[in-house]
Amino acid sequence: MRNLVLTLLLAALVATPVAASTPTAGDVPVGVATNWILGHRLMREGDFAAALPYLYLAYDAQPDEPLIAWDFQRALAFEGYLTDAITVLDDMVAAHPDSSAWRLRRASLNLRAKQTNEALADLRELRRRGEITLDVLSTEAAIHLAQGRVGTALDAYRDGLESLPDQQVAIYLGMARVLQESDNLDRVPSLMDEALAAEPTDPGLWLVRIRSLAMLNRDAEALAAALAADRDVLPLRPEPPVEPFTDDADFLPPAGPPPTPGVLAAWPDESFRVSLADHYARRGRLDRAVGILENLRSEGDLDLDASVWLARMLFASGRQDEAETESVRITDTWPEEGRGWFLRGRLDESRNDWASALTRHRHAVKLAPTEPELRVALVRTLLVVQDTDGPGTNPEEVASRRDELRRHTIVASAAVADADAESKLVLGYAYRTLDEQMTASEHFAAAAREPRLRQTALIQQSICLDELDRTSAARRVLETLREEYPDDAEVANSFGYFLAEKNTDLDLAEELVREALAVEPNNGAYLDSLGWVFYRQGSLEDAFDYLVQAVNVLPEDPVVLEHLGRTMEAMGQPREARQIYERALDSGGNRERLEAAIAGLETSGGDKP
């Protein structure tokens, strides 16, 4: 523990004390009270790393105090110092040999440290004493499962059916987890039949049985079980219902200590059939999910949430007309609910009717201002509408929509979860449009944590960093992209164009852009990049050739037009350059830069149209 201790002591020297209230649990010796209280408070706030220095000082002064030792080993284990945490527990087990809590905790950490023999030794001692609890059973089963002893893991749970009769549901669910994780899923339905014979109205057992049948593609049986549960079990749901049984990953949580009794006894959000439809949808079996929900709708048993799911799935399946019919039904039935109007806005988007989409999304946000998805949809729509604004668009209308975009972007940023990468990407574009490049860069960095969005997000982040004059940081991002996507044409072009803009490493820039053009020889952006590389190299004839090709592909792109104008100016054709600059201005190019370029032509004879 010596290296860790040194680290903790150094951290303690620079740590800033924080205010803390005295905890209610137990008395702490006066000399170490402050450090323990600070550490305990930080742990409760979830900052285990900051808690460690305080807890170490408290433990070093009073290692025999159980309350301090318990917190210290928890913080050590949370930060990954398993060996040190186990050492603390060894001392406490030696000091309190009759304590079940210390032995069980040590067994759990030894299991995490893959020291299964040591973990089993503590569990056997607890069994010898007759101290069998659900935690003991689940920990022992996890040890046997990790070593491939599936039958022994199941037996460990079965031992508790008689000794812990009030925990039968939890024990059967623990056995189901063992079967699931050992690839014995086909044995789960029969196990659930056994469990339901003992506990026929437990909703958690029914959900596991239904979902396991669905995962085995025994769909008719799964639906029949869901119907039976809706008929016989759902009417017994208490009011108000307990927390819903939720599990996105599979039909059960990972092996280990079971969930709390409240979750084990939980009910589906709406019905067992809706839960089954949700299960299918999460696994990409949209047709089967839609079929279940459509049947429920025909019976008049579909509430708002399930109706929204149905419309979403119809939309995702490409059944646009049916999705629209369902969305209209939702807004007719629940006109004050924003999600129906949001869905109708998405359908407008799919038809490129952005004016109607904007109206729908505005109404959805007005009805449900706290739902991030709806506000992000409005931000995205405002971005698209703004991008389609032409030179003749009313300036006041443009300014009003820009203010609206800023307002909704700020609100959405505060509401969107950090893990919502797609929304982060949209907000990154919004902040970039609003010329808030630093904030945009942060949102693109967050979006880049999602593998599907990483390439696009990092390219956009590099652009933001470049506009912030953080050239080295922008180049590092592009170099990272090049390493991760060595065969991607867009990445190669982005890096090559960046180098051309910086007028550096032009041979590498040419190599990168040629590589991109080899993949897409008629891509206007890539043609423009190579033309701009040649311009930087002073090869004006080649630059002109490629930039004319680029303008033919992208005739209204102001950047491409500006590049062609600068090339023609450098070639001694100021009158033609002026005409191209004016086209770039009409296409929405950078007014300050283009007007300066036109003004600079006065001494070149190109000052007259």
pLDDT digits (tens, 9 = 90+) for 297-344: 888 888 898 899 899 888 988 899 999 999 999 999 999 999 999 999
Q: Are 191 and 157 in contact (CB under 8 A)?
A: no
DSSP string across 6-35: HHHHHHHHHPPP---PPPSSS---GGGHHH
Contacts of 424 (CB under 8 A, 6+ apart): 416, 418, 443, 444, 446, 447, 457
421 falls in which pLDDT band (50, 70, 90)?
very high
Structure tokens at 94: 């030696």
**136-161 burial string, b = 16+ CB within 10 Å, else e?**
bbbbbbbbbbeeeebeebbebbebbb
390 falls in which pLDDT band (50, 70, 90)?
low
Alpha-helical runs (H) found in 523-590: 524-537, 540-553, 558-570, 574-586
CA distances from 405 to 179, 432, 570 (A): 52, 12, 40
190 falls in which pLDDT band (50, 70, 90)?
very high
More confident position, 268 or 19: 268
Q: How far apart are CA 315 and CA 308, in angstroms?
A: 11
Residue 503: per-residue pLDDT: 95
Element (H, E) at 1: none
Q: Is the peptide bond before 240 cis (omega within 30 degrees of 0)?
A: yes
More confident position, 214 or 166: 214
pLDDT digits (tens, 9 = 90+) for 222-278: 999 999 999 999 999 887 544 444 443 344 434 444 333 333 347 887 889 999 998
Closest of 497, 589, 562, 569 to residue 534, by C-alpha = 497
Residue 604 has pLDDT above 50, yes or no: yes
Residue 131: per-residue pLDDT: 75
Residue 264: per-residue pLDDT: 37
pLDDT digits (tens, 9 = 90+) for 449-471: 999 999 999 999 999 999 999 99
Residue 110: per-residue pLDDT: 82
Could you give all domains of the chain from N- to C-terminal order, each with its CATH number?
Answer: 1-95 (1.25.40), 559-609 (no CATH)
Q: How far apart are CA 86 and CA 123, in angstroms?
A: 15
Residue 451: per-residue pLDDT: 94
Q: Are 330 and 337 in contact (CB under 8 A)?
A: yes
Residue 165 has pLDDT above 90, yes or no: no
Instruction: Give the amino acid at 333.
Output: T
Mean pLDDT of the chain: 86
Alpha-helical runs (H) found in 265-353: 272-282, 286-298, 304-316, 320-333, 338-350
Residue 552: per-residue pLDDT: 95
Candidate from 9-18, 192-201, 277-286 with smallest mean pLDDT: 9-18
Q: Are 344 and 315 in contact (CB under 8 A)?
A: no
Residue 448 has pLDDT above 60, yes or no: yes
pLDDT digits (tens, 9 = 90+) for 65-107: 989 999 999 999 898 999 998 999 889 889 888 888 888 888 8
Residue 58 has pLDDT above 60, yes or no: yes
